[in-house]
Structure 1
């Protein structure tokens, strides 16, 4: 599963169509949740972020920024990023991107 290069129009469509956004998000999350435990550890998050940033911005995220992003997304500080935590972070990022 590749995260597709997003245009502002695509971002707007996904944000307005919750069912479509959730379906795409669920598919992407399942792909990167390598051990199928329903949460991302740091390694899974780094793999997700590498694709996410490369496809959306044309470059990967350095390890330090990936670790920082993991800590931001891990809102309950349990050392894992749940599906809900990641979805909230992705939605926040998409809203920022569309301006």
Structure 2
């Protein structure tokens, strides 16, 4: 069976503020179907004025978080072709507080 990466996105309310922020991971084009590893885009938009920097960490199943990238309150970045089912992207502010996490999930291709 072939697989494709599910797009994961949502809005969240950051504790202590009234602004809605969004965090997403999205797959590369549909032609990635059937490949074990994929390139994806991680993007975020934080509306809180308290958040100056967003740091993104990668966590593979049964592994510890590793730093991947960082940027301002609104940014996006493409991975290389190394994302596989179960890889989690953890978004943290400059103080290490978790803002959100998104996990890559595979879906069967049609």
Instruction: Sort the TM-score into its range (normalised by shorter chain).
Output: 0.3 to 0.5
Give the TM-score taking structure 2 as reference length. Answer: 0.30
**Which structure's CA Rg is the greater one?**
2
Give the structure with the higher percent helix. Answer: 1
